[in-house]
Amino acid sequence: MLTAKQHALLSFIAARLEETGVSPSFEEMKAALDLRSKSGVHRLVEALVERGFLRRLPNRARALEVLRLPGDVGARPAGGRTATVTDIAEARARAAARAAPAVRALPFAGRIAAGRPIEAVEDRETLEVPADLLGAGEHYALQVVGDSMVEAGILDGDFALIRKCEEARPGDIVVALIDDTEATLKYFHREKGMIRLDPANAAYQPQFYLPSRVKIQGRLAGLLRRY
């Protein structure tokens, strides 16, 4: 049998793990149980460890794991439902998911030229990418075809992650739609009333277009390469 204080502490720890995936601090335990000192919390924790209800995780601060809940011990989380071993397993899974890198599924809009302009191929697929490669705003992905941007580190077969926008600053790497039919990935510049699209490969020449022929479809936000 557990004492009332041991029961209350185990309930509090199990509920906190289910809610946040992180065990409470000794200060939080002291406040929750209305104890006068942390030494009292320490004694309760040690008793639960010795009886096989808790386990200390090595080399980690504030790391307690609930190993089991006896039939007469109910850790009551928010909502008043009795926590079970299944609840604790699910809480651990949620904590692991929070620790895993976040991903975003971007619309995959097909291919784009990093050479001579080619027609963009529309697709309805998605591409999962690490969220930390992206900033705010709406994004989509295009697969690069050609070698005209190799000196910018953009290779044939790479996936360009594009932030949607309709404006660009000089020096931005942009998706430029030419005559509403052909898309290309280039550095954006303005020169003498024209739009100049520069490659990053000495083997290619800049491309000049009247502004009326060019629509900016987005700016390069990141790059994904598969090996």
For the four alpha carbons of 56, 62, 63 and 64, in that order, the dihedral sign comes to: positive
Largest CA distance in the chain: 86
β-pair type (139-145, 103-113): parallel
Query: How far is Cα 146 from Cα 144, in angstroms, rounded to an integer?
Result: 7
Catalytic residue from among 23, 38, 186, 215: 186
Q: Which of 137, 145, 98, 101 shows the shortest CA–CA distance to 119?
A: 145
Question: What DSSP string describes 59-122?
Answer: T-TT-EEE----TT--B--TTSPPB-HHHHHHHHHHHHHHHSPPEEEEEEEEEEESSS-EEPPP
- Both tokens of 80, joined, read 């008043």
186 is catalytic: yes
Query: How far is Cα 32 from Cα 89, in angstroms, rounded to an integer?
Result: 23
Catalytic residue from among 25, 148, 164, 192: 148
192 is catalytic: no
Residues 6 or more apart whose Cβ sits within 8 Å of residue 117: 178, 182, 183, 184, 207
Query: How far is Cα 92 from Cα 148, in angstroms, rounded to an integer?
Result: 48
22 DSSP 8-state letter: S
Known catalytic residues are 148, 186
